[in-house]
Amino acid sequence: MRRRKLMLMAASGIGLSQLSQYAFSDPRSSANPGSPIIPDASDMGPIRAMASVDWASGLADTSPMVFGCNDYEVMTPEKAADREFQAQMAKIDFRLLRLHNSTMSDRWSSQALRRWDPDKVMAAFQAASYLRTRAVVQNIPNWTQWMQKDDVGRLHESEVDRYAQFCADLVQLLNIRQQRKIKYWEPINEAEPVYERAGSLDRLWGIFNRAAVAMKQVDPTILIGGPVISWSDPQQMRSFLVHSHRHTDFLSWHRYATGNPRMASDRLMTQTSEYGKDVVRFRRMGREFGPQALPLFLSEYNLNYDWKAGETRHHGHIGAVWFASVLKHLAENQVDMAAVWHTKDNIYGLLDSTDKARPAAKLYEWCLDYMVGKTVATDTNHPMVEAWAVEQAGGDRNVVLINKAAGPAVVKLSWPIDGRYEEPMELLYLNHAGNQAFSYDVFALQEESFSLLPHSLLLLRLKKRSGGEEGPGVG
């Protein structure tokens, strides 16, 4: 029988056995999964990491728009009106929702009349009451089936003006007739593969330009984004900016991590920083075409771009950890908006088809509650352990420790605490066992190392005392 030892997280005795059982049971062990013990560190070889937070070094002002989501329940009024779905949407409380489905242009239009069907559009928005207090990005997913294409699949030249008017007509319907005041618009979606294969990206950007002009003639207050490309391709983005920067109010692109559901999770986790690098690259590129940088919108992202591949990691805690790391890098690099793909289904949804929330839904709830504010600098000495820290407007400070590794990690956190913060402090866990909250003595925890299970998150919340009171400081 192997030697085992109890892993204690804090000196306080408040709920200690409960915390140990929840946080430190090893999912790979043959022991009772609720046991408060894990194999000796010498057997498991955990990562040992140092992490620090520099509260004085602000990196970005992170808004709720960074934690947005795509939605296509709006396509089906009875689904959008579902009470349980609406309750879950209210609980997560997304402030930004992008409306997109590849069939939207056909499903909201009349093939016989060859125009938008106002009754269908009205029914969709009336059912989706969760949109009324949200910022909405209305995507128009390219041309309809009844618009003519050429022999390689491009929109026929004779249809370009019709498509531009088609886009403008939806602005007229939603913003003028129905007074929905939708601010953000995308007149194309992932149309570039066909045009790039034909060596004619400039033709696609020309379609975008004509649509943008027609849409702004209807409502000059709207903001129009592009190129809404399938991948964060710098050459495609530059080509778009060369031809379309005068008609563009924000840059929009997609990035999925892989098409291979068998790619090792550790490899997926090592690539999350690339999302932040895209932001830096596109901001720098945008500045080349005007005096001010264009706002940046990662309008779709998830683990796997192939919905038929059988990917399931985004259904569980591994996906939640991956999303947390992606969001950290987006926030630290000052992305303006981002929308995960997407709200609900059995493949990608943050909610499954029965409206049951998956672990990633809890992560987005955390982010909207605790990770909006001044994102500050952090550092760790191991690539598979990350820290993400935010000081909120009222002075509360929150830190997420992210263990991206397939094995456990022991993390020593340097994060100076003074007497301005309430006791006890709240700790929120997300790991293979679900999510749960605990309260512990602030200063006891400051001296401890935090033990994290494989692929897990720990959110530490420091709530500022009201009225400027100060408790005991740390000597």
Give the pLDDT band (50/70/90) at residue 9: very low
What integer is the mean pLDDT of 181-199?
97
Confidence of residue 25 (pLDDT cuts 50, 70, 90): very low
Please report which confidence band the pLDDT of residue 415 belongs to, taking 50, 70 and 90 as the band edges: confident
pLDDT-derived band at 23, boundaries 50, 70, 90 = very low
Tokens of 275: 């999302």
Tokens 């929150």 correspond to: 398
The set of residues, in sequence order, having a beta carbon less than 8 Å from that of 89 and lying 6+ positions away, is: 130, 343
Question: How far apart, in whole angstroms, are the C-alpha atoms of residue 441 and residue 445?
Answer: 6
47-64 per-position pLDDT tens digit:
999 999 999 999 999 999
Q: At what angle do helices 234-244 and 273-287 cross, to 10 degrees?
A: 30
pLDDT in tens, 323-345: 999 999 999 999 999 999 999 99
Check residue 425 and give its pLDDT.
84
Query: Tens digits of per-residue pLDDT, 145-159?
Result: 999 999 999 999 999
pLDDT digits (tens, 9 = 90+) for 105-118: 999 999 999 999 99
Pairing of strands 397-403, 385-391: antiparallel
State pLDDT tens for residues 226-264.
999 999 999 999 999 999 999 999 999 999 999 999 999
Over residues 458-469, mean pLDDT: 82
72/67 Cα distance (integer angstroms) = 17
Q: Which of 5-14, 164-173, 372-381 has the lowest mean pLDDT?
A: 5-14
d(CA 110, CA 145): 11
Q: What percent of the chain has pLDDT over 70?
A: 88
Q: How far apart are CA 322 and CA 360, in angstroms?
A: 9
What the chain holds in terms of domains, given with CATH numbers, is 4-59+375-468 (2.60.40.1180), 64-371 (3.20.20.80)
